[in-house]
A = this chain, B = another copy of it.
Amino acid sequence: MVFSLTILGCSSAMPSPERFSTAQVLNVLERFFLIDCGEGTQIQLKKYHIKFTRINHVFISHLHGDHFLGLFGFMSSLSLNNRKLPLHIYGPFRLKELIDLFISTMERGIGFDIVFHPLHYQGAELIFEDDKVTVESFPLRHRVPTCGFIFREKLKLKHLKGEVIKELNIPIRLLQSIKEGADFYDEDGNLHPNHTLTKDAAPSRSFAFVTDTAKNQGIIPIIKQVDLLYHEATFADEVKKRAKETGHSTARQAGEIAKRAEVKKLIIGHFSHRYKSLEVLLNEAREEFPNTELAFDGAVFDVK
């Protein structure tokens, strides 16, 4: 029952050997979602032993090079590896133009279909759903149209208490509704409340990805109480003005958002190169929201 985030890169603007451009993989119940795909993402996937073939969905937040330039090499390598399954890409519509032109330069194209899902920037929107997981996009506040993403496990059914079910001889046709929360009346008309028939399911887990953005309180209701929040913290608060001008957040602002959204844990990333040590950023965010961690390439954050 894995719900695990791996950071592949968490630099802002320019990558370095120690800190690649933005990319992450979220594994939700063995679904592998690639979130942003900066230059060198395929190298990081190899480094951290994540199989390319497991990835079927790629989410690109916005059209700045440090968030998407690894996509072309990743696609080429999938094709060299004889991928046949379609790859779903969710991103800004002009990304499709770049992908199409790139593929047109390849003498044999690529051996699988790209299913492109253009993002909209009007409000929260359900962009992916299967039997266990949903993904929503929502607009951020950056220099170009940018989306954050929330990944959620669906609400889980309650677990039946097998012995009670057997003892009361509850018909099979009623079990699904009981898992969904219904009470049960026996033949004598006695009420058996749901909590006597079931155990609570494990809570549904959630992750929100928020980069790049200036401080944006509008996202608070959308990311409310997520288990894990990745929020950019490009700068320290002493250059708050520069953060706002460039459409970025400070570490303190990331902490404020986490606190007001009552998330369980905050990870900050997308660090400016001006910070040789990241202590100042971590301390600032923790002053607002103590359960904060720094992202680093290769870091893994599990939600139990």
Contacts and interface: CB of A to CB of B under 8 A. Distances in A.
Interface of A: 13-17, 20-21, 39-40, 42-44, 46-47, 63, 65-66, 69-70, 72-73, 76-77, 80, 94, 97-98, 101-102, 105-107, 143-144
A3 B98 CA distance: 38
A246 to B, nearest CB: 11
B65 A69 contact: no
A42 B63 contact: no
Contacts of A70: 39
B39 A15 contact: no
A43 B20 contact: yes
Contacts of A72: 39, 65, 69
Contacts of A73: 15, 21, 39, 65-66, 69
Contacts of A42: 14-15, 39
Contact of A105 (B47, B63, B102, B143): B63
Contacts of A76: 14, 65-66, 69
Contacts of A77: 13-14
18 contacts: A15-B40, A15-B73, A16-B46, A17-B43, A17-B46, A17-B47, A20-B43, A39-B42, A39-B43, A39-B73, A40-B40, A65-B72, A65-B76, A65-B106, A66-B73, A69-B73, A94-B105, A98-B98
Nearest to A76: B65
Contacts of A69: 39, 69, 72-73, 76
A60 to B, nearest CB: 12
Contacts of A102: 65, 98
A80 B40 contact: no
Q: Which of A39, A66, A76, A77 has the most chain B CB atoms closer than 10 A to its own CB?
A: A39
Contacts of A98: 98, 101-102, 105
A94 B157 CA distance: 55
A15 B42 CA distance: 8
Contact of A97 (B16, B39, B40, B101): B101
Contacts of A94: 105
